[in-house]
Structure formats: C-alpha cells, structure tokens
Amino acid sequence: MNQNISFLLNNTAVNSDLNPASVTLDFLRSNRLTGTKEGCKEGDCGACTVICGTLENDKLIYRTVNSCLVPVMNIHGSHIVTIEGLNLNKSQLSPIQSSFIKEGASQCGFCTPGFIVSLTAYFLNADKLKSKNIMEYIDGNVCRCTGHSSIIRAAGNLKFEFENAPDDFNKRLLYLVDKNIIPEYFLTVKEKLNDLHIELTDNNTSDMPDYYVGGGTDLFVQKPDEMLSSSLSFIFKKNNPDIVFKDDGYCFVSASATVTDILDSALIKKIFPGIAEFSELFGSTPIRNNATLGGNINNASPIGDMTAFFLSLDSDVILSENASERTVSLKDYFVSYKKTVISRGEVLKYVRFKLPQSKYFFNFEKVSKRTYLDIATVNTALFLEYENDYINKINISAGGVFESPKFLSLTSEFLTGKKINAIVLREAVRIAGTEISPISDARGSDRYKRLLLSRLIYAHFIKLFPELIDIKETL
C-alpha cells in the first residue's frame, strides 16, 4: 500500500504517494537522476551513494548512505543530495570535480559520482577538517578500474586546500558556498525542511507487520522484492532523542541507533576511549550511517559485529509489546541459527549494559578477507575488570564459530580470578576450543576458524597487557 512521502530532493520539494519499501535508488533513476548509478545493489561498491540530511535537535546533519538499500520511507522528511544536486551550473566544475580531472581520477566514470558525493559529505559533516581523515569518507566507494591511487591524490589535494574551513556548521556552509564546493541553495535547506512539517511517527502498514524495518541494510539485500509486497513497520529514526543515555547505573542504547550514532556518542566514547581504533572495522561509512543496532542483533547472524560488541558487555535487551516490556539477557537471546526468543509483535526497544565501575579494559578483534568493510570470518570482543594483578571479571564473545553469536562462558569462568600469563592463556584457548563448533564454508574451514579464534584471544591480551605477555610464548 502506497503512502504519502515528503522530502527535499536537491533543491526541489517532493510530495508523492510511493510504496514505502521501494528503494531510493530506484526512485531517483526513474525520475531521470541517473548520475546515481546502480552497481552491486548490496551497499558494497558506493556507486549509488547519496547524501542524506536530517534535522536532529534542530541541527542539520549530513551523512552518506547507499541509496540502493534505503527505503523511501526512511528518507521521509530528509534532504537527499545526488550528484546532480552538487552541480553549480553547466559551465563550472566544483573544486572536487576539478581535482578529479587534474589527477586523472575519473576513468570509465561509473564510480565517479559516488566518490564526488562522498567527498562533498566530508566537507559538510567532518566536525574538524584538520583532525578528520578525508579517506574515511570514501571507504565505501570502489573504483573497479583500479584508479584508487589517482583518487587518493585528488582527495589529498582537497584536504590540504580546504582544511581551514570553519568548524561552526553555519559558517562552514557559507565557506563551502563561497568556495563553490556546494551550491547556494544549501543555505536555505533547514528552512525548507521545517516548512515540510514532517512528523516522524510510527509508520505501520499493518497492526501485525511481517517485518520491522530499521536501516534496511540486510533486509533490502536479502529480500528486496518481498519487501515491496509485505506489511512493514518502519522504526528508523522516529523522533527518538534518547539514542544513548545512562540511567540507574546502566548505559542504554536505542535499538534504532545507527552504528554511527553509537560510535559518535559522547557517552560511548567516554566509556570506551579507544573505540575509534576499531570502529572502522564495522563496515563502511555509508553502512554505519544506516545500519541499526536492533537490525544487527535481530538479524541473529553468527558474525554480527555490533552483536559481538554488546555480547561481551553482558548486555540485556529490552523487548516491548504494546504497554508491556520484558528484559532478556543477550546471552540467552539467540536460540539457534538466525533464531531469537523474540515473539511476533514484540519490538526490540533498547540494549543496556552496566556502567563499569572498576578498572576495566575492552578490545575488539576481527578477521575478514579484506581488513575493512567486509563480513567477518571470525570476530571477538573482550571486556575485563582487572585489579591487583588479578582478573575480577571477564566476558569474551565470539562470532563465526557457532550457529549463533557465542558467549564463551566456560572460558570466561576459567579466567576469572586468574593472573594473566601465557600458561593461563594457553589453557583458556584450549577451553574455548571445546565451546565452539565452527562449520566449514566459503569464509574458511572449521580448522581455520578454530585457529583464528585462538590467535584472536591471544591478541586481546597481547594488545591490552603487552608487559605481561610475550608473543613468542603464545606461538
């Protein structure tokens, strides 16, 4: 059933009856905005990248998304910017486009619009250009002509040339318009979005939907055609100011929070000061901007990165149905492959974990065919409280080694109360091997996954306690 959907497309207001599950890419191309390309249609290549601007607490936030995976309902009330919306006029190139030409960074040209859009998002979104790596903003874009060296040079030139842009967003917009990086209409976007008078409320097509849709980064890869004819409830960014907060000794994270929301949270950064070191392992920037915590957990994939993260924190999930709620330990949430204890009609509302009180350490490790932007072969996270040379508490999670995300309870129990040394770790690795049952598949054999987990458990301790563990003793 079609629904009325309103958004700002470049500099034009759109108000149309659309199937809410049709993806943004198809809408754009059917409306002759064909600069946005259809490549993999799985969020992997970046050819379809667009910028999505949303008003959050009266502040305009721009982030890149893969339009091939974003249902049009999720852009309701947003500003969508395509490559056509960045053109100044028919005779003038932006500095980003000019830099690509100067460095020969556009070869067949198919991927080029996505790169231009992503680099423009860098200037719109990076809080401080001097401290943000411009390459992070093109980590979701692939050039199949292997022209990455020239693209990297083009991006590097831009960072050097414009790194003195103001940090204040409103001043930044004026600066970017003055430097011809964005067209002048960007100065009126906030006012135009307010004029749309959009209320982001529950968007159910049924009292008992077939699917609850968050970011859609999995559903619209696996079941894009089925989504078009299913009854859906869209729960992405529904005016929820409580994305990450603390209450009564717990940190609460909304299930509708994107991975970017979590990683950018001041509270999360305070609890995990080193989170930036492994945040780039959680997919590409456009995927992190769109993928939600609830989707990652309810997907029940054995190799979900955010699932491994929160499993190691001994987290709970809070499930809601009408006016009632229940709390389930995340360790007990997964019952078999791709199956959870959630009942039809229930919605995952929050994930919570106890705020650490003692001296603690956290680490995340992952091995995949590509170091970044790839699905894990094996991933693992560790949370550890350490005092007076002894482990007071430890939680180790592992993915890719069982039919569901795995909490290594026996291994964690063995390590509790122990001193950290190579002998203890060798026994812990042996116990971990008894808790897992990997399957051989395209990502690796049973034997290979067992070896990976053992090496990654060692890696946790070598990274966190290099003074206690000699890497040679673990070989």
Q: What is the pLDDT of residues 50-59, one digit of tens each?
A: 999 998 888 8
State the pLDDT at residue 296. Answer: 93
State the pLDDT at residue 78. Answer: 95
Q: Report residue 340 CA to chain centroid gap.
A: 22
Integer Cα distance of 397 and 453 in angstroms: 10
State the pLDDT at residue 201. Answer: 52
Integer Cα distance of 342 and 440 in angstroms: 29
φ/ψ of 204, rounded to 5, equals -95, 140
- The topology (CATH level 3) of 244-474 is 3.30.465
The residue count of the chain comes to 475
Integer Cα distance of 201 and 192 in angstroms: 20
- Kindly report the CATH class assigned to 3-86+190-234: alpha beta
| Tokens at 240, concatenated | 């929820």
Q: Find the largest Cα–Cα distance for the chain.
A: 70
φ/ψ of 232, rounded to 5, equals -130, 150
Strand intervals (E) in 236-370 = 244-247, 250-254, 316-321, 324-329, 334-336, 339-340, 347-354, 360-367
φ/ψ of 399, rounded to 5, equals -125, 150
List C-alpha distances in Å: 66 to 71, 163, 215.
10, 26, 11
CB neighbourhood size of 48 (10 A): 28
State the pLDDT at residue 310. Answer: 97
Sign of the C-alpha dihedral computed for residues 427, 431, 436 and 439 taken in this order:
positive
Query: Closest Cα to residue 68, out of 33, 32, 108, 28?
Result: 28
CB 228 within 8 A of CB 24: no
CB 256 within 8 A of CB 292: yes
Residues 6+ apart with CB under 8 A from 120: 51, 81, 86, 94, 96, 181, 182
Q: What is the CATH number of domain 95-182?
A: 1.10.150.120
State the pLDDT at residue 239. Answer: 47
**Which region, left, alpha or beta, applies to residue 283 given φ > 0 means left and ψ of -120 to 50 means alpha?**
left
State the pLDDT at residue 474. Answer: 67
Sign of the C-alpha dihedral computed for residues 27, 202, 50 and 94 taken in this order:
positive
| Tokens at 93, concatenated | 């190139």
pLDDT digits (tens, 9 = 90+) for 416-454: 999 999 999 999 999 999 999 999 998 899 999 999 999
State the pLDDT at residue 388. Answer: 87
Spell out the domain ranges in the chain: 3-86+190-234, 95-182, 244-474
Residues 6+ apart with CB under 8 A from 455: none
State the pLDDT at residue 370. Answer: 77
Q: Which residues of the chain have pLDDT under 50?
A: 202, 205, 239
CB 216 within 8 A of CB 71: yes
| Tokens at 236, concatenated | 């992405």
Quote the DSSP letter at residue 208: S
CB 213 within 8 A of CB 236: yes
CB neighbourhood size of 172 (10 A): 20
